[in-house]
């Protein structure tokens, strides 16, 4: 990233800033990660240790019991595979549809653009609610299909607006020269605009993927067939009980052990965190110069 040039023009003040900045951000990073480590430690600790030690980042005695009780069932494995596939396919579909719509909207001279943008903004602010959405999904025959897990929220108005704005900021010359060379708009999008927009596309791929991965409302409402359930739906039983009602407290069924709750958090988070570096790669690659050359 042209770092050699930077160093050549380094000043003392600049170096001081660098040191402070590194220290500051390392501190921020630690602050962000410590609670996660706490949850990780809790997921590996015995229930007795969790109830008797208030805060720890390393358990005295390591046990994988909490994980064993989540991971042991076949249903979990199936749900995991389902979720990975649905997230992958769903993200592609959602990102594709969003980019496809964002591109024409980035053309300021397009007739009707303003009207459509207003409709998009209104849809962003107002959502009709659960029951009407359920009825629509039902009418379209999507109940108990995997489509119901990503089609109903295929284009996030917020993402659409941001992506549209990114497209709008791209230099128009490249696109125009492509058009002059005889490319149609779809080809311009594919060969000129998308390669230039890798950082933003990677970002929204992550947004969409996390959205599908963490969603439990859609499977809850649209899937009554348990064999199609996703990971969050299975894990919900454990995570949701944090918001106890009076009846839950009085129930004969004791709340799930703390260790299992922690393990669930880890199991649900780690795959997304692991996927992240693959996307991060594209954040730097999207730079203008590289793209123009390539």
Write out the binding residues for other proteins, residues 108-127 only, by CB under 8 A. 108-127
Q: Are 263 and 66 a contacting pair, CB within 8 Å? A: yes
CA 135/CA 128 separation, integer angstroms: 11
Q: Does 58 bind other proteins (CB under 8 A)?
A: no
Q: Which stretch binds other proteins (CB under 8 A): 60-68, 81-89, 128-136?
A: 128-136
CB of 85 to other proteins, least distance (A): 20
Using the rule CB under 8 A, give the single segment among 29-37, 57-65, 81-89 that binds other proteins. 29-37
Contacts (Cβ under 8 Å, ≥6 apart) of 47: 257, 258, 259
In the DSSP assignment, the letter for residue 189 is I
Looking at beta carbons only, is 108 or 181 nearer to other proteins?
108
Q: Is 194 in the site for other proteins (CB under 8 A)?
A: no
Q: Pick between residue 145 and residue 216 the one whose CB is nearest to other proteins.
A: 216
Choice from 58, 158, 191, 278 touching other proteins (CB under 8 A): 158
CB of 254 to other proteins, least distance (A): 5
Q: What count of residues does the chain have?
A: 294
- Site for other proteins contains 195 (CB under 8 A): no
Site for other proteins in 236-265 (CB under 8 A): 236-255, 258, 265
As a three-state string, the secondary structure of 82-141 is HHHHHHHHHHHHHHHHHHHHHHHHCCCCCCCHHHHHHHHHHHHHCCCCHHHHHHHHHHCC
């Amino acid at each position: 990233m042209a770092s050699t040039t930077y160093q050549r023009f380094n000043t003392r003040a600049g170096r001081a800033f660098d040191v402070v900045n590194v220290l500051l951000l390392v501190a921020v990073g630690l602050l962000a990660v410590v609670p996660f480590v706490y949850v990780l430690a809790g997921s590996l600790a015995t229930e007795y240790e969790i109830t008797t030690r208030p805060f720890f980042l390393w358990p005295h005695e390591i046990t994988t019991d909490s994980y064993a009780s989540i991971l042991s069932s076949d249903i979990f494995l199936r749900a995991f595979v389902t979720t990975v596939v649905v997230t992958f396919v769903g993200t592609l579909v959602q990102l594709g549809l969003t980019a496809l719509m964002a591109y024409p909207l980035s053309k300021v001279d397009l007739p009707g653009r303003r009207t459509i943008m207003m409709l998009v903004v209104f849809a962003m602010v107002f959502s009709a609610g659960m029951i009407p959405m359920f009825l629509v999904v039902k009418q379209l025959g999507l109940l108990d299909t995997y489509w119901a897990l990503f089609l109903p929220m295929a284009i996030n108005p917020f993402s659409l607006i941001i992506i549209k704005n990114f497209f709008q900021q791209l230099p128009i010359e490249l696109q125009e020269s492509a058009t002059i060379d005889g490319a149609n708009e779809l080809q311009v999008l594919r060969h000129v605009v998308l390669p230039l927009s890798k950082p933003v596309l990677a970002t929204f791929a992550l947004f969409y993927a996390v959205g599908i991965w963490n969603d439990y409302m859609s499977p809850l409402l649209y899937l009554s067939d348990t064999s199609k359930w996703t990971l969050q739906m299975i894990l919900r039983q454990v995570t949701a009980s944090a918001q106890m009602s009076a009846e839950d407290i009085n129930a004969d069924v004791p709340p799930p052990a703390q260790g299992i709750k922690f393990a669930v958090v880890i199991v649900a988070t780690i795959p997304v965190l692991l996927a992240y570096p693959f996307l991060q790669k594209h954040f730097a690659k999207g730079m203008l110069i590289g793209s123009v050359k390539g």
